Homo-oligomer: A and B are copies of this chain.
Amino acid sequence: MVVEIISIGEELLIGKVVNTNASWIAKRMMEMGLKVRRIITVGDDIDEIVSAIQDSIRRGAKIIVTTGGLGPTFDDKTMEAISKATNRPLKLENEVLMEIEEKLRKRGRKLSEAAKKMAYVPEGSKIIHNNIGTAPGIILDYNNAKIIALPGVPEEMENMFETEVVKMIKFEGKFQETEFLIYNVTESELAQTIIELMREIPSIYIKSHPIISTEDKISLKLHIYSTSYDEESWRKIIDEIRNKIIGKHNYCEIRGI
């Protein structure tokens, strides 16, 4: 099942905010056995958001998670963009409107036109309530895809993901990962061994990262992961990988497992 994330907000495009929301969602998806295929970051521009959503649908994404652009201000355009991209007109949700009014009343505020805007969602949306902030999210089924719109404030996004989104994602495996350090071998030397390991062991992914160290000793970090094994078989696989590396590169030193 193809998952794509669309991160929305000018602050991401000027380097003001690092996109930790996308990493957080990607990690949670992996833990549930689903891998994100693409992350697209656009600004608060309705045409850009519409085009990003339509591109994701065209590429066959089955789950499209957007973050950001759900608030009351003029530059919060996500609902309008989803409405435009899916041809589902915006509709006032009375229940949401009452919730927003109630939240504002508690803070001694009246409902403004801007706040009222947050109660308009594309027709057919399932509302995701926001226990922390004001703007609700939605889940909208469209052409075999689920479009999930969450706020950009991390606390709100994470809370809504954990309470609502996880319920509708089909568990497809168990995420396993192991990391260790290898000294005295270059990435180039190890490349062929990694290719062979990935050919021999089904559904694993091995990634090597060079570590810059002040000593002149070469070191690499190996990150191995899969969504297809239980804990016991994963331990066996890690042993197999370790033995193969030592067998082919007996001059190297492995630490951390």
A interface with B by C-beta (< 8 Å): 7, 10-20, 22-30, 35-43, 48, 52, 55, 71-75, 104, 107, 109, 112-115, 132-133, 153, 155, 186-192, 194-195, 198, 205, 207-210, 212, 216, 218, 223, 225
Question: Which residues of chain B have C-beta atoms less than 8 A from A225's C-beta?
Answer: 14
Q: Is the interface of A mostly helix, strand, loop or mixed?
A: mixed
Q: In the assembled complex, how far is the CB of residue A161 from the closest CB belonging to chain B, in whole angstroms?
A: 13
Contact between chains at A195 and B107 (CB < 8 Å): no
Distance to closest chain B CB from A34 (angstroms) = 10
Bound-state CA distance A71–B209 (Å) is 10
Query: How far apart are A160's CB and chain B's nearest CB, in angstroms?
Result: 15
Kindly identify which residue among B75, B113, B133, B223 contacts A11, using a CB–CB cutoff of 8 Å. B223
Residues of B within 8 A of A186 (CB): 72, 104, 107, 109, 112, 115
Q: A37 touching B28 by the CB < 8 A rule?
A: no
Contact of A18 with B19 at beta-carbon distance under 8 Å, contacts A40-B40, A112-B188, A186-B109 already known: yes
Chain B residues near A189: list those with CB within 8 A. Answer: 109, 112, 114
